[in-house]
């Protein structure tokens, strides 16, 4: 296959991606990063960059792919740990916050890419979010918590949920991860957002005709 890797499978490649991510994590904006800057951070000579990426946009796209893995891991953990329905939202939010803190740079990158980056990166992130939305819809359907909603309305609900959580990401990244008080604030607010949305979903049919 075209997938047989180089001698050490993408060691420098990883170093470059990690370096870019690290710069983003330090507050730099991905759009303002240059090739030389990234290679410098990675401890690599600038020319080597081109062995792995065509340009910075290319690197961005590959970062989105890795971001996808992070998101999937998060989803898996949520599926495994969120069992009883009553704590569903609070726990999901807690898991989300934990993953954000564990992969801060990745989520920085995601938040930045959502608005304004190279159109390709933007579309990829949006696509990841759509995937997340549809998986969430599947889960909810399976848990039989929303049987009165048709597919379209369920999808809308999940879309709104994912968006709200994604927006909370902005809050979360704006505060220090050590400021447990503020983190708790974000957790609570996000949880209440979700509760509000689901209260709306529970009573949605009754006003659908209006």
Partner DNA sequence: TCTCCATGTGTACAGTTGTTCACAATATGT
Partner DNA sequence: ACATATTGTGAACAACTGTACACATGGAGA
Angle at 33 between CA 28 and CA 38, to 5 degrees: 105
The residues in 115-134 that bind DNA, with binding defined as CB under 7 A, are: none
Residue from 52, 117, 137, 183 touching its own copies (CB under 8 A): that is 117
Nearest to 136 by CA among 111, 122, 156: 156
Tell me: does residue 128 bind its own copies (CB under 8 A): no
Instruction: With beta carbons less than 8 A apart as the criterion, state whether 99 and 177 touch.
Output: no
Binding of its own copies by 122 (CB under 8 A): yes
Nearer to its own copies by C-beta: 79 or 167? Answer: 167
Contacting its own copies (CB under 8 A), which of 43, 80, 115, 144? 115
Closest by CA to 136, choosing from 92, 188, 195, is 92
Q: Counting contacts by CB under 8 A, is residue 104 touching its own copies?
A: no
CA pair distance 55, 49, nearest whole angstrom: 8
Task: Confirm or reject binding of residue 44 to its own copies (CB under 8 A).
Answer: no
Closest CA to 83 of 139, 158, 9: 139
**Of 23 and 140, which has the nearer Cβ to DNA?**
23
* HSE toward the beta carbon, residue 46, CA cutoff 13 A: 4
Cβ distance to its own copies smaller for residue 70 or 173 = 173
Q: How far is the CB of 171 from its own copies (least distance, A)?
A: 8
Token pair for 35 = 């090739």
Nearer to DNA, 109 or 198 (CB): 109
Task: Please identify, using beta-carbon distances, which residue of 37 and 153 lies nearer to DNA.
Answer: 37
Query: Chain centroid to CA 86: how far?
Result: 25
Contact track, its own copies, 166-195, x by CB under 8 A: xx--x--xx--------------x--xx-x
Choose between 73 and 87: whose C-beta lies nearer to its own copies. 87
Pick from 89, 96, 100, 56: nearest CA to 75: 96
Alpha helices in the chain (DSSP H): 11-25, 35-42, 56-81, 88-102, 104-114, 119-142, 151-174, 180-202
The site partner of 87 among DNA, its own copies, none (C-beta below 5 to 8 Å per kind) is none
Residues that bind its own copies (CB under 8 A): 27, 29-32, 86, 108, 111-112, 114-117, 119, 122-123, 126, 156-157, 159-160, 163-164, 166-167, 170, 173-174, 189, 192-193, 195-204, 206-207, 210
């Amino acid at each position: 296959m075209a997938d047989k890797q180089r001698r050490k499978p993408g060691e420098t490649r990883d170093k470059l991606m990690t370096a870019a991510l690290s710069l983003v994590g330090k507050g730099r904006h991905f759009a303002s990063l240059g090739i030389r800057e990234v290679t410098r951070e990675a401890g690599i000579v600038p020319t080597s960059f081109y062995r792995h990426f065509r340009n910075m946009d290319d690197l961005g796209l590959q970062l989105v792919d890795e971001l996808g893995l992070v998101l999937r891991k998060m989803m898996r953990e949520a599926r495994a740990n969120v069992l009883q329905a009553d704590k569903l939202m609070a726990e999901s939010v807690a898991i989300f916050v934990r993953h954000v803190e564990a992969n801060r740079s990745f989520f920085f990158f995601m938040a930045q890419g959502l608005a304004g980056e190279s159109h390709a990166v933007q579309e990829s992130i949006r696509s990841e979010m759509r995937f997340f939305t549809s998986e969430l819809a599947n889960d909810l359907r399976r848990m039989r918590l929303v049987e009165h909603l048709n597919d379209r309305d369920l999808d809308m609900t999940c879309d709104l949920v994912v968006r709200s959580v994604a927006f909370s990401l902005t809050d979360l990244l704006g505060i220090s991860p050590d400021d447990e008080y503020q983190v708790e604030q974000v957790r609570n607010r996000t949880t209440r957002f979700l509760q509000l949305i689901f209260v709306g979903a529970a009573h949605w049919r009754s006003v659908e005709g209006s």
